[in-house]
Amino acid sequence: MSTQSSVNEAIQTHYTRADLGEVILAALENAGKDVNRLTPEDLAPIDQFHIRGRTATLELARVVGLDSAKYVLDVGSGLGGTSRCLAKEFGCRVTGIDLTEEYCRAAAMLTSKTGLAHLVDCRQGDATHLPFADQTFDVVWTEHVAMNIPDKSRLYREMHRVLKPGGMLAIYDVLAGPAGPVMFPVPWAHTPHTSFLVQPIELRQLLEEAGFSITDWTDTTEAARVWFVSVAERIRKNGFPSLGFHVLLGADFKEMAQNQGRNLQEGRILLAQIVAKK
């Protein structure tokens, strides 16, 4: 088995949870939601699987200039939360791709229940071998995904390939901080073997080598720290809510969240919002 294949297998094992769709529906019912009439806002606590959630998604969407004429590829689309959010808020068509089959199945079910299947679809696949023709998309979008991908050079070349000329790449990602190694486990990896963070200077170089010109680069680490402190305080006071990332990540989530908070506070990780043009 190749290194990439073994990494892919480990990543799928990390994220896969049996009967995920049923688990999510049960959590939604416990939270008092009508599972037959869901909105993207109902799902946001569980399907916006990245720091600062829907707020960060909408900030990036405004910077990249999304509108209903755009066709978007959401790379590492998870449960489809970002795809649905973009489709509902901006009217754009979105195709998601995710490595984990269980997430794709759950994404399709949730998209159907929110009435957005006419705008949003999801395919299982590898971000470093995108199953799309050259120059297909107006925007390639990715949030908190590259941390799990070792071959970043190929990742960004593939993103460049499927973009139309003048198309935009929108990134919201976790990067390596200056203060030393990440403390594990974290939400994206149990061990260093499936975590591949790069420093900001490395990401800049990777994007330029892939043929992109960077048009916007915003460090959002401080906003992430503030958000994390407020979430941790709510959990400390009230315990875990019915809906949240712990539903996806199970018993290890508490330790993952504590480590994530420390990694942020101690400068072991950084957050960046980046827009680049083909």
Whole-number pLDDT of residue 208: 98
- The verdict on residue 112 lying in a domain is yes
**How many domains does one find in the chain?**
1
- Spatial separation of the C-alpha atoms in residues 250 and 83, rounded to whole Å: 24
Whether 214 has a pLDDT exceeding 90, the answer reads: yes
Percent of the chain whose pLDDT exceeds 70: 92
- The verdict on residue 23 lying in a domain is yes
- The verdict on residue 249 lying in a domain is no
The model's pTM: 0.91
- Spatial separation of the C-alpha atoms in residues 249 and 232, rounded to whole Å: 16
Encoded amino acid at 126, one letter: D
- The verdict on residue 51 lying in a domain is yes
Least confident of 12-21, 178-187, 248-257: 12-21
> DSSP class of residue 148?
G
- Comparing 27 with 177, the larger pLDDT belongs to 177
Whole-number pLDDT of residue 67: 97
- The verdict on residue 34 lying in a domain is yes
Encoded amino acid at 45, one letter: P
- Bond before 187 cis per omega within 30 degrees: no
- The verdict on residue 259 lying in a domain is no
Output the domain CATH number for residue 158: 3.40.50.150
pLDDT confidence band for 28 (50 / 70 / 90): confident
Whether 6 has a pLDDT exceeding 70, the answer reads: no
Task: Locate the DSSP E strands across the chain.
Answer: 71-75, 93-98, 120-124, 137-143, 163-176, 213-219, 269-277
Domain of 140, in residue numbers:
3-122+133-174+195-220+271-277
pLDDT confidence band for 41 (50 / 70 / 90): confident
User: Taking residues 45-55, what's their average pLDDT?
Assistant: 86
* Residue 265 near residue 53, CB atoms below 8 Å: no
What tens digit of pLDDT does each residue of 89-143 get?
Answer: 999 999 999 998 988 999 999 999 999 999 999 999 999 999 999 999 999 999 9
CA distances from 156 to 127, 160, 195, 256 (A): 9, 6, 17, 28
pLDDT confidence band for 11 (50 / 70 / 90): low
- The verdict on residue 150 lying in a domain is yes
- The verdict on residue 230 lying in a domain is no
Helix and strand element counts for the chain (H, E): 11, 7
